[in-house]
């Protein structure tokens, strides 16, 4: 059975760190590594890590240049076959999560991924991952980092997280691995984690920067299939996500196509002449 490494990145988030560490240490399955990479916190996080250090495989508390620099440190320290990045504030769905995952991971594919509960301040909602990953989905979305188990050797074979990207380097890695390198993936039909939606990638004000970075990644790795920012924003919009949700349900998707065909009857014909 492949060994799993859990990597937790933290910076001045003692409350979130405690929640995450308790979730990991309370797992019924015990054959895993637990690595904490702290960015030199001044809020008591380092002292807390020292308190629980006997339960950790490795830990470090020192300044870093950002979340992906910290994650890359964790990757280089890890000895597990598969890595899961559970950051401060994120938790596993329940105490048997790792046990269920370990029974499903057999080492046949490079990336295993599952579903996530998006924990917003006022509500929680399940976000199911697609059963199969493809470019049309990944161009505007990604699988949840906290619900993903990536074969450690892939980082040496492909690349480590791009530290110039402050928010979406994990998305770049996944879309490149799946769509460029054709790394096999498998959906684990289960909720794996509860994602703390107060993170930097969830802040509305960061969305423009995220879209610009997505554009740069697409232009770099997929120049023949480039999307512009406006098109990506459309796919990321509420209506775009609703369309993707409908598309995953065959009957609803047939009804939608029928309604669109009916609507097109009453619209002016598109001029296709050059």
Instruction: Give backbone dihedrals phi and psi of 35, rounded to 5 degrees, phi first.
Output: -120, 130
Q: Which residue has the higher pLDDT, 136 or 116?
A: 116
Dihedral sign for Cα atoms in the order 132, 194, 171, 6: negative
Question: In the chain, what are the domains?
Answer: 4-231 (3.90.550.10), 237-274 (no CATH)
Helix pair angle (238-247, 250-265), 10° resolution: 120
pLDDT band at 239 (very low <50, low <70, confident <90, very high): low
pLDDT in tens, 71-84: 999 999 999 999 99
**At 254, is the pLDDT very low, low, confident or very high (cuts 50, 70, 90)?**
confident
Residue 274 is predicted with a pLDDT of 47
Mean pLDDT in residue range 81-106 = 96
Mean pLDDT of the chain: 87
138 within 8 A of 174, measured Cβ to Cβ? yes
* Low-confidence winner among 95-104, 161-170, 207-216 (lowest mean pLDDT): 207-216
pLDDT at 243 over 90: no
For the entire predicted model, the pTM comes to 0.83
- For helices 229-236 and 238-247, the axis angle rounded to 10 degrees is 60
- What percent of the chain has pLDDT above 90? 63
């Amino acid at each position: 059975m492949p060994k799993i490494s859990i990597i937790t990145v933290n910076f001045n988030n003692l409350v979130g760190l405690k929640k995450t560490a308790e979730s990991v240490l309370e797992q019924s399955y015990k054959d895993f590594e637990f690595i904490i990479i702290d960015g030199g916190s001044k809020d008591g996080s380092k002292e807390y890590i020292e308190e629980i250090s006997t339960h950790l495989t490795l830990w470090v508390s020192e300044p870093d240049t950002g979340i992906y620099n910290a994650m890359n440190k964790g990757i280089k320290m890890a000895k597990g076959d598969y890595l899961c990045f559970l950051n401060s504030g994120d938790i596993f769905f329940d105490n048997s999560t790792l046990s269920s995952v370990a029974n499903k991971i057999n080492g046949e594919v490079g990336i295993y991924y599952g579903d996530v509960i998006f924990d917003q301040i006022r509500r929680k909602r399940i976000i199911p991952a697609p059963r199969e990953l493809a470019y049309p989905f990944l161009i505007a979305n990604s699988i949840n980092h906290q619900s993903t188990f990536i074969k450690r050797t892939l980082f040496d074979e492909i690349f480590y997280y791009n530290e110039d990207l402050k928010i979406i380097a994990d998305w770049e890695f996944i879309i490149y691995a799946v769509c460029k390198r054709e790394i096999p993936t498998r959906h684990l039909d289960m909720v794996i984690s509860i994602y703390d939606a107060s993170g930097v990638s969830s802040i509305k004000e960061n969305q423009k920067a995220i879209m610009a970075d997505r554009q740069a990644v697409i232009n770099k790795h997929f120049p023949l299939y480039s999307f512009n920012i406006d098109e990506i924003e459309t796919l990321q919009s509420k209506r775009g996500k609703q369309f993707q949700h409908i598309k995953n349900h065959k009957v609803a998707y047939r009804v939608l196509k029928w309604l669109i065909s009916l609507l097109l009857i009453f619209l002016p014909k598109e001029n296709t002449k050059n």
